[in-house]
Amino acid sequence: MSNVAVVFKVYAQESDPSALMDTIKKDLNPAGMQMEEVAFGIKVIKVLFKFDDTKTSSTKFEEELKKVKGVGEIEVFEEGLI
């Protein structure tokens, strides 16, 4: 049994991702979130999930993020054992 942490970079379809952050927080209950400016006013939301790898996988969290209305692109930023 290993505990895993994964951070996803989530790009919003709209220019202001604040509402998307609220939706992700409410629907998926991540361990942490923060918004960062990438460049030229483009913002990305970094979403942290912690889980037991014997019960689920990062792919499941990625699939759930894709279902959230307003999510554009998703990429795995960092993943590792904790």
Q: How many of the other CB atoms lie within 10 Å of CB of 5? A: 16
- How many structural domains are present in the chain? 1
According to the model, what pLDDT value does residue 17 have?
A: 86
CATH of the domain at 48: 3.30.70.60
| Token pair 């960062």 in the structure block, residue | 36
Rounded Cα distance between 42 and 37, Å, is: 6
According to the model, what pLDDT value does residue 23 have?
A: 93
- Give the range of the structural domain holding residue 60, as residue numbers without chain letter: 3-81
Q: Taking the model in full, what pTM does it have?
A: 0.91
Q: Would the CA dihedral through 1, 63, 24, 42 be positive or negative?
A: positive
Rounded Cα distance between 82 and 63, Å, is: 22
Residue stretches of the chain with pLDDT short of 70: 1, 15
Q: How far apart are the first and last CA of the chain?
A: 11
Instruction: Name the E strands within 1-82.
Output: 3-12, 32-39, 42-52, 71-81
